[in-house]
Amino acid sequence: MISLQRFGRSARRRPSNTMQRTVHSALWTGAIGCLVAIAIAVSASAGSYALWNGATNVTGGSMSAGSAAITINGSTTATLALGALGPGESTTTPLTIANTGSTPVSLAVTDTAIGTDAASLAVAPQLTATLTSVADPTRCQAGLTGGSTGTLTGFTTTSAPIVLAKDANATLCLQLSLATSAPSTMQGKSAAFTMSLTGTQVAP
């Protein structure tokens, strides 16, 4: 208050008492506002401020980290049994995806790798993969539409990802089709593949 008065005296014009009170009031209001803002910010931040200490013992308490985990047909590395194909034919197999983690996840096929043998490399470009969500495994039959479709080589999902709640299951139907125009040289061969499915934690 004293310094403010001195500051006021050094001004070229002597302010009136009314103006002086108004300035003082504004300054006090601003200062208090800043303090409140800082206090709120500090209380909302993730930082730790130990200006005041108080201690008490909590007995028997523990804290564990969450997790994201999925299985396909009960395993993280499932192996499929698929039927043989002729030109224009399709084979299907249901994939039961289980969210075994502690957080919701969205599902996506992020890559499909093809075997490096000559037969796999020859046949895979003639195969089309379709991955569609179905209500139950019995509905996983040839001719399904929707979902994501693409050549088996490098297949990834392009449709909206399926969000799987904690402890929930979903059934995806994988359909593989051999092109009607598959060359005659494709007879009696086989193509090995590995499809990578990733469950990504859904933002809270």
Partner 1 sequence: MIRHKLAIIVGLVIVLTFAGTTAGYAFWTAPAAVSGSVATKAIAVTETMPVSFGGTLSGTTAITGAITITNTGSVASAFATAATTASAAGDTKLATAITVAAWPTANPANCPTSSPSGTVTTGTWANFPPLTGTLAPASVASFCVRSSLASATGVSSDVVTPTITATLTAGTSWSASAQVSAKLTYTAPPPSVTWYQLKNVATQRCVTVSSSAARSSIVSTDCSNPATLGGQAFTLGRSGTTSIVTYLAQALSIAISSGGNGKPAITAATTSGSGQSWTVSTTGSYYTFTNVNSDRCLADDSTSAGSAVTVDNCWPNPSQQFTLEPIQ
Q: Enumerate residues 140-159 that contact partner 1 by CB under 8 A.
A: 152
Does the footprint of partner 1 cover residue 162 (CB under 8 A)?
no
Q: Which of 65, 124, 120, 75 is nearest to 97 (CA)?
A: 75
Tokens of 186: 């494709």
Q: How far apart are CA 22 and CA 17, in angstroms?
A: 9
Does 163 sit near partner 1 (CB under 8 A)?
no
Q: Distance between CA 153 and CA 101 in Å, rounded?
A: 30
Asked whether position 198 contacts partner 1 by CB under 8 A, the answer is: yes
Question: Looking at 6-14, 51-59, 94-102, 155-163, which segment touches partner 1 (CB under 8 A)?
Answer: 94-102
Region near partner 1 per CB under 8 A, out of 1-9, 56-64, 143-151, 172-180: 172-180
Q: Does 89 participate in binding partner 1 (rule CB under 8 A)?
A: yes
Tell me: does residue 85 bind partner 1 (CB under 8 A): yes
134 binds partner 1 (CB under 8 A): no
Structure token pair of residue 43: 């209380």
Residues ≥6 apart with Cβ < 8 Å to 120: 114, 190, 191, 192, 193
Candidate list 4, 82, 121, 160; residue touching partner 1; CB under 8 A: 82
